[in-house]
Amino acid sequence: MEQQWRRSEELETANKELAAFVYSVSHDLRAPLRTISGFIKILEEDYAGKLDDTGRDYLKRVYNGSEKMSSLIADLLYLSRISRLEINRMEFNISKKASSAVESLREASPGRSVEVVVQEGLIASADMGLTDVVLSNLLGNAWKFTSKTKNARIEFGAFDEDGRTVYFVMDNGAGFNPEFKDKLFWPFQRLHTDLEFEGSGIGLTNVERIIRRHGGKVWAEGEVGKGATFYFTLNEK
């Protein structure tokens, strides 16, 4: 017991050190990146006429690369912030939160018709803002990975298992190879290419970290072409 406790203390310290390291590296990378982006802008504005089409194409690629890097750094900074944030638990209606996340998704892509079923009246005890991040990532993924599916359907709900509440987000979209179901939660790991579905691969890492900060667990089930289900708990057990 004593040994187990010490091990979890050590892990906690290692995690904190890693988060601090990630924070300072990402923070320091921003300054040189700003220099790169700044000079690309000047090149585009003042020297575009002196370049031929190939030169302008190369410049555009350098610019896209710097934009991508800037968004990856922002992702990393956010990730390290989650590790340091206080968890403010309170009771709230998580069904309403799920519905409003779905509302935002509908507003962002009005052309899509997706059947969404949200189990009403579920009350959670968790950090409300961070639960929003969890829901918008999981529902956002469900939304994205059903974008090529006919009769897309997404469901949010909960069930009791061994005295704990398990929440789930289920979709009938692209699914994934279950062999790699743990890899999904690693930073920048993706099971689909940018060409199939866009993304940087950080969303589920944020989700995992938020759930872990709550003492809960998150896991996934899926099959290629048959959709995916993400489960999570918000309490220790």
Ligand X SMILES: Nc1ncnc2c1ncn2[C@@H]1O[C@H](COP(=O)(O)OP(=O)(O)OP(=O)(O)O)[C@@H](O)[C@H]1O
List residues near Mg ion by CB under 5 A.
141, 203
Distance CA 116, CA 67 (A): 34
The amino acid at residue 164 is: R
Q: Partners of 125 in the beta sheet?
A: 91
135 binds, among ligand X, Mg ion, none (CB under 5 to 8 A by kind): none
Distance CA 167, CA 101 (A): 15
Distance in Å, CB of 37 to ligand X, minimum: 21
Q: Is 228 in the site for ligand X (CB under 6 A)?
A: yes
- Count of residues near ligand X by CB under 6 A: 22
Distance CA 88, CA 125 (A): 10
Only one of the segments 3-11, 33-41, 126-134, 141-149 lies at the binding site for ligand X (rule: CB under 6 A); that segment is 141-149
Among 95, 141, 165, 233, binds ligand X (CB under 6 A): 141
Which ranges constitute the DSSP H helices of the chain? 2-47, 53-84, 94-108, 128-145, 203-213
> CB under 8 Å to 208, separation ≥6 — which residues?
185, 218
Instruction: Decide whether 103 or 223 has the Cβ nearer to ligand X.
Output: 223
- Cβ-closest position to Mg ion: 203
Only one of the segments 59-67, 88-96, 159-167, 197-205 lies at the binding site for ligand X (rule: CB under 6 A); that segment is 197-205
Q: Give the strand pairing for 164-171 and 218-222.
A: unpaired
Q: Is 134 in the site for ligand X (CB under 6 A)?
A: no
Distance CA 141, CA 173 (A): 10
Q: Is 156 in the site for ligand X (CB under 6 A)?
A: no
Instruction: Decide whether 173 or 216 has the Cβ nearer to ligand X.
Output: 173
Bin 17: left if φ > 0, else alpha if -120 < ψ < 50, else beta: alpha
Q: Is 142 in the site for ligand X (CB under 6 A)?
A: yes
Instruction: Decide whether 94 or 204 has the Cβ nearer to ligand X.
Output: 204
> According to CB under 6 A, which residues from 66 to 95 bind ligand X?
none
Question: What number of other Cβ atoms are within 10 A of residue 171's Cβ?
Answer: 26
Instruction: Decide whether 37 or 200 has the Cβ nearer to ligand X.
Output: 200
Q: State the residues that interact with ligand X by CB under 6 A.
A: 137, 141-142, 145, 171, 173-176, 184, 190-192, 199-205, 222, 228
